[in-house]
């Protein structure tokens, strides 16, 4: 059994369609289907001077991916896209590809969903309430989404995601931190086949609060949560100062890091592996990965977009799906 991967095209005015037709040229250890508008993909392949056979396919047509061809589940956009120019008429198309993809994975027709980047602003301008890709998927699938980015040799999960810095502290609660750590531990076992994950936990404040002199969140919230979860058998280390936690002597013995907020952990990860990093959503009933970058409207149709992160996202999804199909791990 080969993993069945479903890939969305993302924002049609951005580089998502470019990446789809570029990745179709490569060797992939899966059955790959793109959900999107076939003429859009054909036009983008022509613009990028790529020879590509586009096959409109039923969702049950399972076969190993062949470089130079692309199996497409047809979904029509609202208006012909122009590279680099957003159009509110295509916001429903973007959301339709995502919602249909999530439903198809929930129904067992695909083993994983990989998403190209979307543009949150234009979806909101279309009058559709949309707080983010991950939140939209979770609203359909259920679960408690936890954001984790992975690059070669490093995984960083986040206790909070896209919040103003002024709001981070009050969102680090015992309930949230416990839920995130339990999901992180469970999915490292279930999705990645790591029997007893070792997780390093960042403090919130400089020097992890320095005994309360630089903040009391470590003493009043983080340390009690970690101690409670250790008693349940989860291997947690911290809270540790974020300015030293990412040194090789600590990371070489760790399976993941939990950062308290977005810009505490992700600059390190993106410096280590930008263009090869993968955004993985834990805590969902489906496997979902994505790229580590945005729509890059200025690069759409230019041939300059790098498909490295998308290839890594597909590889990560294939690995997780393959372990599940072979019975190495149980579905989360």
Binding-site residue positions for a divalent metal cation: 162, 207, 262
Residue 278 near residue 293 (C-beta atoms within 8 A): no
The closest of 309, 264, 303, 271 to 290, measured between CA atoms, is: 309
Question: Do residues 290 and 148 lie in contact, with contact meaning Cβ atoms separated by under 8 Å?
Answer: no
User: Per the structure block, which two tokens stand in for 45?
Assistant: 């392949």
d(CA 82, CA 214): 51
Residues of each annotated binding site for substrate: 133-134, 270, 279, 288
Q: Which residues are annotated as a binding site?
A: 133-134, 162, 207, 262, 270, 279, 288
Quick one: 153 exposed, middle or buried, by C-beta within 10 A (0-12, 13-18, 19+)? exposed
Beta strands across the sheet bearing 69-74:
53-56, 69-74, 31-36, 4-8, 112-115, 288-291, 278-282, 146-151, 154-158, 256-259, 198-202, 235-240
């Amino acid at each position: 059994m080969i993993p069945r991967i479903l890939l969305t095209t993302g924002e049609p005015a951005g580089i998502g369609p470019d990446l789809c037709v570029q990745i179709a040229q490569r060797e992939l250890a899966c059955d790959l289907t793109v959900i999107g508008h076939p003429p859009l993909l054909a036009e983008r392949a022509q613009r990028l001077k790529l020879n590509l056979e586009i096959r409109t396919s039923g969702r049950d047509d399972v076969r190993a991916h062949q470089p130079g061809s692309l199996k497409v589940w047809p979904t029509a956009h609202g208006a012909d896209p122009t590279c680099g120019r957003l159009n509110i008429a295509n916001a429903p198309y973007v959301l339709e590809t995502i919602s249909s993809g999530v439903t198809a994975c929930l129904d067992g027709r695909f083993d994983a969903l990989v998403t190209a980047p979307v543009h949150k602003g234009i979806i909101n301008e279309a009058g559709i309430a949309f707080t983010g890709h991950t939140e939209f998927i979770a609203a359909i699938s259920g679960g408690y989404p936890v954001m984790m980015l992975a690059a070669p040799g490093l995984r960083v999960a986040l206790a909070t995601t896209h919040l103003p810095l002024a709001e981070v502290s009050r969102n680090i609660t015992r309930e949230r931190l416990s839920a995130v750590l339990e999901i992180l531990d469970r999915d490292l076992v279930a999705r990645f086949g790591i029997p007893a994950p070792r997780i390093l936990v960042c403090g919130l404040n400089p020097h992890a609060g320095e005994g309360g002199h630089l903040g009391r969140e470590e003493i009043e919230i983080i340390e009690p949560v970690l101690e409670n979860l250790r008693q349940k058998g989860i291997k947690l280390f911290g809270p540790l100062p974020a300015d030293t936690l990412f040194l090789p002597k600590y990371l070489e013995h760790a399976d993941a890091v939990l950062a308290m907020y977005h810009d505490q952990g992700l600059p390190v990860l993106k410096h280590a592996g930008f263009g090869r990093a993968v955004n993985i959503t834990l805590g969902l009933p489906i496997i979902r990965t994505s790229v580590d970058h945005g729509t890059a409207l200025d690069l759409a149709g230019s041939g300059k977009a790098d498909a490295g992160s998308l290839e890594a996202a597909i590889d990560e999804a294939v690995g997780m799906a393959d372990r599940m199909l072979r019975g190495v791990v149980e579905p989360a």
